[in-house]
Structure 1
């Protein structure tokens, strides 16, 4: 499986260290506002990041999951489909949306809008990766692990054709694998 990786972009150690830093910052920020966020993770890609991040959030949080899709193969199609909605109401709650990567921004913008329409008090976003060169809508994450160049990455939850999610790092996929 590792033979499809051109190079490691973000190591497992870097991910753990940055998750710790983000968890502390998130804890401090929410303590200042006296809010306890409902942590909402977007399936499937954000699960490894969620699992690492929540170890470092020093608050009594609850979390829930949404499964939304906007990709076919390697391309974002811009049409958001909700495959699994939240199990709880978000009315009046502060939401911390956990994402694996902010790419075009379409999914994030639509999910944020959806949560606000459902009555969320506010929505903040924490993303493991940010790829600003691919952005097509105006949206930014409140907390970002790593800004990366416009390369096709897999690992730590990110996939190609549902493969490579279990790599413990973020790696650049060899082009011959997906072209």
Structure 2
């Protein structure tokens, strides 16, 4: 059990399970993008660990960029996604892989889709470490999924609760 701010969290997903999920995503990406030069776009802050681990396992040429979007306050989504830091490179005509820590409602993906349409990318796919099918409300395809999980609030491995918990090597769920 751990305490972050005013909430308690209990162990949920082990470091070994996370490593296995990342390896699965990386194998699929290597097969899909063999011989190509995709641009990985990590969604900050949460995806920094996942992005690093996936990109290290990518066997071909690639480029890396980041965007910073925000939609959470405390343990719940505000329903509004704000672009806090935009893209720093042009993506017109490029193949892009979005690296997300977690996909729940899909609101962040909607904003990313808007950004990528403006950028006129050739194609993009989404790779996420965690996917919450119960919470997902959009129609964007999530092609590469590490783990499908229930709709619980989690922290660790890049995910936080009001700034704390990102550095944890395993994932914890809110104690009910």
What are the ranges of 5 or more consecutive residues in structure 2 without an aligned counterpart?
Answer: none
Are residue 16 (structure 1) and residue 16 (structure 2) matched?
A: no
Are residue 167 (structure 1) and residue 168 (structure 2) matched?
A: yes
- Contact 1:38 1:64 (8 Å CA) reproduced: yes
Q: In 2, Cα distance between the equivalents of 1:116 and 1:10?
A: 35
The two structures have a TM-score, normalised by structure 1, of: 0.90
Report what 1:27 is aligned to. 30
**Deviation at residue 35 of structure 1 after TM alignment:** 2.7
**Deviation at residue 138 of structure 1 after TM alignment:** 2.4
Q: Show structure 1 runs of 4+ deviating over 4 A.
A: none
CA RMSD between the two structures: 1.5
Q: In 1, Cα distance between the equivalents of 2:170 and 2:159?
A: 10
Q: In 1, Cα distance between the equivalents of 2:13 and 2:53?
A: 15
**Deviation at residue 157 of structure 1 after TM alignment:** 0.5
- Contact 2:101 2:159 (8 Å CA) reproduced: yes
Question: SS where residue 29 of structure 2 aligns?
Answer: helix
- Contact 1:116 1:123 (8 Å CA) reproduced: no
Deviates more, 1:72-81 or 1:20-29: 72-81
Are residue 5 (structure 1) and residue 12 (structure 2) matched?
A: no
Greater share of helix: 1
Q: In 2, Cα distance between the equivalents of 1:173 and 1:164?
A: 12
Once the two structures are superposed, residues 13-55 of structure 1 have per-residue CA deviations (whole angstroms, 9 ceiling, x without a partner) of 1111221221121011112xx4321000000000011111112
The two structures have a TM-score, normalised by structure 2, of: 0.91
Report what 1:121 is aligned to. 122
**Deviation at residue 146 of structure 1 after TM alignment:** 0.3
Question: SS where residue 112 of structure 2 aligns?
Answer: helix
**Deviation at residue 5 of structure 1 after TM alignment:** 2.2
Are residue 67 (structure 1) and residue 71 (structure 2) matched?
A: no
What are the ranges of 5 or more consecutive residues in structure 1 without an aligned counterpart?
Answer: none
Once the two structures are superposed, residues 45-102 of structure 1 have per-residue CA deviations (whole angstroms, 9 ceiling, x without a partner) of 0001111111211111110110011222222222221110111001111110000100
**Deviation at residue 173 of structure 1 after TM alignment:** 2.1
Q: In 2, Cα distance between the equivalents of 1:2 and 1:23?
A: 30
- Contact 2:41 2:64 (8 Å CA) reproduced: yes
- Contact 1:23 1:58 (8 Å CA) reproduced: no
